[in-house]
Amino acid sequence: MIPDARSASGHVDTFARQHLPPREQWPELLFELPELRYPDRLNCAAELLDHANGARPALYGVRGTWTYAELREKVDRIAHVLRGPLGLVPGNRVLLRGANTPMMAAAILAVFKAGCIAVPTMPLLRARELGTIMARAQVDAVLCAGDLCAELDLLPDCPRTVRFGGDGTQGLEALMAAQPAAFSPCDTAADDVCLIGFTSGTTGVPKGTMHFHRDILAICDCFPKHTLRAQPDDLFIGTPPLAFTFGLGGLLLFPLRIGAAGVLLEKLTPETLLGAIERHRATVCFTAPTFYRQMATLAPRYDLSSLARTVSAGEALPLATRTAWQQATGLRMIDGIGATEMLHIFISAAGDDIRPGATGKPVPGYRACILDDAGRPAGPGTIGRLAVKGPTGCRYLADERQKDYVIDGWNVTGDAYEMDADGYFIYRSRVDDMIISAGYNIAGPEVEDALLRHPAVAECGVIGRPDVERGQIVEAHVVLRPGHEPSPAFTAQLQEFVKREIAPYKYPRSIVYAQALPRTETGKLQRFRLRTQAAKDGA
């Protein structure tokens, strides 16, 4: 299809097309790879489910396994519930709330198949945050896991809500039982919106990113196909919530696209994830760098021989964590940078292409460059803003911030990166997190990486603390491993250690000890919370 042409929408409710940014504010889209030339009419859930071998396993959960035939039947019955008893029409928004379970996955796919728009939300969100999302996406109905309904009850005008995950005698399961087992997919356009993914929003009002049916397939046909190179007999496992596009892709869409299977488990810890890998004999794991760091220490107690590939994303992978993981498991980590705006990973490397210290190269289907201060593409060796384009890209739901993310057709992610002479992209820091101390630019992650090489350091986060003399000073927030105690002498020892690892002017002049670091549900360190704390302490 011609990327700019729009075939007739399958939506009856035209909310999505009305709230897309104006076309001139979209990023440029690339469909150069032959596998990205999708037909004009496309329903991604039908593509993922309706051609599969029904006898093969699709999803594993604590309550058992669903084959592709079983998953498809659940999805079809839920789609009937949405369009029948719930009275929804194509284009309506359905908010989904639940932990990672096969039923949550089926509900998301059913929304796609019914031609509605899924608005998945993280389990830890509170009523106020849910209310904001409901208002922004003008949600028409809610599907909520029974154990997470309390927050919704606090909302004065929550749309019609159906609960799922009970004993099957009430709620969604009871409605499903009364519906036909097969649903013919809504005839949607490839560029009809099917997903509004809200950013985990470290600051400000969350942004809704709008994605099309073809985007769902495009992410499956880029990173997993060309970089991960997963196969039908792979078994995917990991922690990111399905409401985070890292998890939606890695644990659900990617396996389904190739007829493989995914394990969906809730409330995973490093220990229970390791146990689940061993029990299920999982082959592909998706999680955040901090999880791998903690798992590396525990790995010798588990049989992880089934694991063939592990993917790290969500934040920068410290070299120390890459090394620890490889020493513990023999596996070379596939680091990949993705973003909710881009839907999934767009720079990565696997196997012999991995260069420790670099994220990798643009995933086939994507292009990337570094923009200098003047906004022009810079050559190797310049630290600047990372810019990317590909088949997917940023389209915020009615949001002024579209103009900040898309510049001259490039998606500008807010990350400071550098490209080397071989075209590898090296992460430095978030643009806003760059520390400027006495005129020096210091990237916090580099100091973190040095600290993480000290055997007593479990976790750390490095920020700039306001300072009269130097503007900012480097401050490290450190969690020690069991058996180590903070003391002034130990602080001096850590500082000396860093000075030996990296240029001495980068050493943390202040070290604060903590029991844990503030993180989002997606595993990201909340540096702004460390900074507010530093500002408070200073006042």
Question: According to the binding rule CB under 6 A, does residue 430 interact with ligand 3UK?
Answer: yes
Residue 92 or 522 with smaller CB distance to ligand 3UK:
522
Question: According to the binding rule CB under 6 A, does residue 418 interact with ligand 3UK?
Answer: no
> Which span (9-17, 230-238, 338-346, 448-456) binds ligand 3UK, by CB under 6 A?
338-346
Tally of residues, the chain: 539
What's the closest the beta carbon of residue 40 comes to ligand 3UK, in angstroms? Answer: 27
Question: According to the binding rule CB under 6 A, does residue 335 interact with ligand 3UK?
Answer: yes
Question: According to the binding rule CB under 6 A, does residue 339 interact with ligand 3UK?
Answer: yes
Distance CA(539)–CA(531), nearest Å, equals: 12
Q: Would you give the binding string for ligand 3UK spanning residues 243-272, x where CB under 6 A is met?
A: --xx--------------------------
Question: According to the binding rule CB under 6 A, does residue 517 interact with ligand 3UK?
Answer: no
What's the closest the beta carbon of residue 91 comes to ligand 3UK, in angstroms? Answer: 24
What's the closest the beta carbon of residue 288 comes to ligand 3UK, in angstroms? Answer: 9
Kindly list the distances between the CA atom of residue 212 and the CA atoms of 183, 219, 402, 469, in Å, as whole numbers in the listed order.
21, 11, 17, 51
Residue 199 or 227 with smaller CB distance to ligand 3UK:
199
DSSP-assigned beta bridge partners for residue 280:
none
Write the DSSP assignment of 375-402 as a string of letters: S-EE-TT-EEEEEEEBSS---BSS-TTH
What's the closest the beta carbon of residue 345 comes to ligand 3UK, in angstroms? Answer: 5
Distance CA(517)–CA(525), nearest Å, equals: 7
**What are φ and ψ of residue 477, in 5° steps?**
-105, 120
C-alpha gyration radius of the chain:
23
Question: According to the binding rule CB under 6 A, does residue 273 interact with ligand 3UK?
Answer: no
What's the closest the beta carbon of residue 210 comes to ligand 3UK, in angstroms? Answer: 14
Residues 190-219 interacting with ligand 3UK (rule: CB under 6 A): 199-200
Contact yes or no for 119/194 (Cβ under 8 A): no
Residue 360 or 508 with smaller CB distance to ligand 3UK:
360
What's the closest the beta carbon of residue 211 comes to ligand 3UK, in angstroms? Answer: 11
What's the closest the beta carbon of residue 464 comes to ligand 3UK, in angstroms? Answer: 17
Counting residues that bind ligand 3UK (by CB under 6 A) gives: 24
Distance CA(349)–CA(363), nearest Å, equals: 8
Angle at 284 between CA 522 and CA 482, to 5 degrees: 55
> Which span (16-24, 99-107, 114-122, 335-343) binds ligand 3UK, by CB under 6 A?
335-343
Residues 301-330 interacting with ligand 3UK (rule: CB under 6 A): 313-317
Question: According to the binding rule CB under 6 A, does residue 336 interact with ligand 3UK?
Answer: yes
Q: Dihedral sign for Cα 29, 35, 41, 43, please.
A: negative
DSSP-assigned beta bridge partners for residue 407:
410
Q: Would you give the binding string for ligand 3UK spanning residues 345-364, x where CB under 6 A is met?
A: x-------------x-----
| CB-based burial, 279-300: b 16+ in 10 Å, e otherwise | ebebbbbbbbbbbbbbbbeebe
Question: According to the binding rule CB under 6 A, does residue 413 interact with ligand 3UK?
Answer: yes
Of 135, 119, 111, 115, nearest to 14 by C-alpha is: 115
Q: Which of 131, 171, 338, 464 binds ligand 3UK (CB under 6 A)?
A: 338
Question: According to the binding rule CB under 6 A, does residue 121 interact with ligand 3UK?
Answer: no
Q: Which of 227, 427, 451, 525 binds ligand 3UK (CB under 6 A)?
A: 427
Residue 211, SS3 per DSSP: strand
Question: What number of CA atoms fall less than 13 Å from residue 49's CA on the CB side?
Answer: 28
DSSP-assigned beta bridge partners for residue 142:
95, 161
β-strands 383-389, 410-419: how paired? antiparallel
Binding site for ligand 3UK (CB under 6 A): 199-200, 245-246, 313-317, 335-340, 344-345, 359, 413-415, 427, 430, 522
